[in-house]
Amino acid sequence: MTLITLTLAVILLIVLVFWFGGLWLARGEDLTVHDHPVDPDAGGTVDSQAGASPEHGQAEAEIRAAGVKVKGMSRKQMLLFTRQFMEDMSRGKSFNCEFVPVDAGGVPAEWVLAPGVDPTRRVLYIHGGAFIAGNPGTHRSITSRFSEAANAAVLAIDYRLMPEHPRRKGIEDCKTAYRWLIEPPARIFMGGDSAGGNLSLVLSGWIRDEKLRRPDAIVALSPLTDSTYSGPSIRDNLPTDTMLGPLFGALTKIPKPILSWIFFLENRIRQSDPLVSPVFAELSNLPPTLLQVSEAEMLFDDARRYVNKARAAGSPAFLQSWPGLLHVWQIFYPEVPEAREAWEQVDTFLKRVETETS
């Protein structure tokens, strides 16, 4: 065997080890068994509008214009743009709430208090932002409305973000804040959107396993549940997801083994680990959980698979989906009618849970 032949053989071996190692890193259970419509008792499509409202159309146009700007940006430029865009979304808005800074066991946070709420009732809210952006201030449209819906004090936490911190640090902050919150309120709820929805569902299983007092209910808005990005809607809805498509569409073009290695090297954890992909967790004995999602967004199947798997395991999980809406459209409350409608559904869910458990 010549030196050239030997070198080529070694290179081929390295490529094969790299390729199949990447496939192993992303390997998990077969989730396609959960690719079916949810049971009628679990919810379904909410479509009371004759097409999207003009107000939603205006919000979508603004998001689409922002998406055009990110084309050609470097990763660092996109990070800075995303953070600034989220800051700008809430700038200038007024809220009929009190916002009180607090140290939640070492985690920076703020209390969000709607007028007249019962302070013995509490919500842990975990904001979205792809794990790289956002803070309690960017999500006050959501946390102020959640305070009203739950008649509770909302603890909105400022968990550590990537890339300055490993993803595990943000998860640790969520756990710390929950331990700090749970004594001694009369009611506890938990919620989050997008990345925050992921973290709230991760916490749900952790709370059960740690035998801590569990939330009375969880609300997850357009949550990421599968960090292997295996759901059909990740690619099928790329053209219709005005918000996530421009930011993360490039990920769909990266070969799966390479993406797995990138994820592992950045996070030191496999994509299918339940710590980052709650849909791969054991989902029995969880609290009542409502997921809301748009049927046009890339994360539609993340939500549907989670609900179907949780219900198969005996947990009371529910899915409400809307056709043609933005990712986390609930943040456009109160201007967008579909956002008001979604929050009315959250109100109904929380009241039903309380009636059934009182």
C-alpha of 308 from chain center: 17
Q: How far is CA 61 from CA 134, 292, 295, in A?
A: 21, 22, 18
Query: Which residues, 6 or more positions from 65, have their beta carbon under 8 angstroms from its beta carbon?
Result: none
What mean pLDDT comes out for the span 241-259?
85
pLDDT-derived band at 67 (thresholds 50, 70, 90) equals confident
Q: Report the alpha-carbon distance of residue 37 to residue 65 in Å, rounded.
A: 33
Mean pLDDT of 158-185: 94
Would you state the pLDDT for residue 300? 98
- Check residue 48 and give its pLDDT: 62
Indicate the average pLDDT of the chain. Answer: 92
- Residue 175, pLDDT above cutoff 90: yes
Using CA atoms, how far residue 111 sits from 98, 154, 275, in Å, is: 8, 6, 27
DSSP secondary structure of 209-256: HHTPPPPSEEEEES----TT--SHHHHHTTTT-TTHHHHHGGGGGS-H
pTM: 0.93
**What mean pLDDT do residues 231-253 have?**
90
The answer, yes or no, to whether residue 1 has pLDDT greater than 70, is: no
Please give the DSSP secondary-structure letter assigned to residue 333: T
Q: Catalytic residue positions? A: 194, 297, 327
Structural tokens at position 278: 């709650």
Identify the CA nearest to 252 among candidates 272, 238, 266.
238
pLDDT at position 49 over 70? no
Summarised one tens digit per residue, pLDDT across range 73-125 is: 888 999 999 999 999 888 888 899 999 999 999 999 999 999 999 999 999 99
**b (16+ CB within 10 A) / e for 219-247:** bbbbbbbbbbbbbebbeebbebbbbbbbb
Confidence of residue 231 (pLDDT cuts 50, 70, 90): very high
Does residue 313 contact residue 186 with C-beta atoms inside 8 Å?
no
Average pLDDT over residues 25-43: 88
Query: Which residue, among 226, 213, 211, has the nearest Cα to 293 in the 3D structure?
Result: 226
Task: Yes or no: say if 140 and 93 are a contact pair by the CB < 8 Å rule.
Answer: yes
Name the band, by pLDDT with cuts 50, 70 and 90, for residue 251: confident
Partners of 219 in beta bridges: 191, 290
Count CA atoms closer than 13 A to 21's CA, side-chain side.
Answer: 12
What single letter denotes the amino acid at residue 166?
P
Can you tell me the distance from the alpha carbon of 16 to that of 22, in angstroms, rounded to the nearest whole number?
10
* SS3 state at 327: coil
Q: Which residues of 169-184 are buried (b: 16+ CB within 10 A; e: fewer)?
A: ebbbbbbbbbebbbee
Q: What domains can you pick out in the chain, each with its CATH number?
A: 53-353 (3.40.50.1820)
